[in-house]
Amino acid sequence: MISVRDLHKTYRHGGADVHALRGVGLDVGAGQVVALTGRSGAGKSTLLNVVAGLLRPEQGSVEVDGLELTTARDAELVALRRDTVGVIYQEFALLPLLTAEENVGLPMRIRRQDTRKRDEAVAELLDRVGLTAHARQRPEEMSGGQQQRVAIARALVNRPRVLLADEPTGQLDSETGAQVMELLRQLVEQEGTTAVVATHDPSVADFADAVVHLDDGRVVSPAVGASGDGYRGTHAGEQTDGDPADDLQHDVGAGGPDGRDQPGAGVPRHRRT
Ligand SMILES: Nc1ncnc2c1ncn2[C@@H]1O[C@H](COP(=O)(O)OP(=O)(O)OP(=O)(O)O)[C@@H](O)[C@H]1O
Ligand SMILES: [Mg+2]
């Protein structure tokens, strides 16, 4: 569903080059949920923005749902963001003058979908995120956790095949963050959505099929056991400094890059009852 190869992205900033991504490879199969970890500045947002079709890299290839983004026309990227990809940001990014239900319905309005269909879909999603009673409230009249649930509903209302979330719990206290993450997990599982969730929060590994750890613009091995009760991801990557012949591509579902099994390799998605 998502296939990234040898991705390089450099920002030019005040005459200096910032190499945000230095040969990243990543494969996310349909329906998989991948947690993207790494400290501040590691390149997580940059990678998500490239996969969302918002940033063009200078080298490498990025395929999302069959579309090669690096050679796609602008109109194709617009269509990708409208029809295929849903995005959730740390700061919610809701429109302040719109109510919860209007914010959730916005992507369907943009697609000019039938009003009745839209109202039904919005009501159903607000119910699923537990906000039916708050449908007429504006963002400033809601708590952070409620606003993020609105943003989740908005990201899912067009039933995107791919969901990209950038620190979706970053502005929430840990308990609210855990609730929001659990909700997100349930929704993507029910819908079979492919998801990449960038986070600083090691417990998010519990929510994912696999953890991919970025350091300084490269994929490195995951921190085993970082979540406290055992690493449940399948596998991430390895450090491959220098040698361009090194295979930087990692299939997160296919065991270790060196052929050895990783802890938890191949285990099915963690499910709670
Ligand atoms: N628009 C920009 N112009 C110049 N440099 C940038 C820009 N955006 C990001 N960078 C730099 O690129 C590198 C990667 O940034 P990125 O935002 O992808 O990291 P991140 O992993 O998302 O960090 P955080 O956890 O703090 O959100 C950093 O060194 C950052 O300073
Ligand atoms: Mg970021």
pLDDT at 241 over 70: no
Q: How far does the centroid of ligand 1 lie from the alpha carbon of residue 231, in Å?
A: 27
* Residues recorded for the chain: 273
pLDDT at 84 over 60: yes
Tokens of 182: 């659990």
Tokens of 226: 């970082």
Does 42 contact ligand 1 (Cβ within 6 A)? yes
State how far the Cα of 147 lies from the Cα of 93, in Å rounded to an integer: 9
Q: How far does the centroid of ligand 2 lie from the alpha carbon of residue 45, in Å?
A: 4
In this prediction, residue 222 carries a pLDDT of: 54
pLDDT class for 242, splitting at 50, 70, 90? very low
Tokens of 183: 């909700």
pLDDT at 45 over 50: yes
In this prediction, residue 240 carries a pLDDT of: 38
In this prediction, residue 50 carries a pLDDT of: 97
Distance of CA 21 to the CA centre of its chain: 17
What's the whole-number mean pLDDT along residues 63-69?
A: 97
Q: How far does the centroid of ligand 1 lie from the alpha carbon of residue 21, in Å?
A: 10
What's the whole-number mean pLDDT along residues 244-253?
A: 39
**Helix, strand, coil abundance in the chain, percent, nearest 5:** 35, 25, 45
Does 54 contact ligand 1 (Cβ within 6 A)? no
pLDDT tens-digit profile of 183-216? 888 888 999 999 999 988 777 777 889 999 999 9
**Ligand 1, atom 29: nearest CA belongs to which residue?**
41
Instruction: Kindly report which listed range (135-149, 157-171, 190-204) carries the lowest average pLDDT score.
Output: 190-204
Give all domains of the chain, ordered by start, each with its CATH number: 1-84+160-265 (3.40.50.300), 94-159 (no CATH)
> Comparing C-alpha atoms, which of 104, 131, 133 is closest to residue 119?
104
pTM surpassing 0.85? no
Does 37 contact ligand 1 (Cβ within 6 A)? no
pLDDT at 235 over 60: no
Looking at per-residue pLDDT, the higher value among 171 and 214 belongs to 214
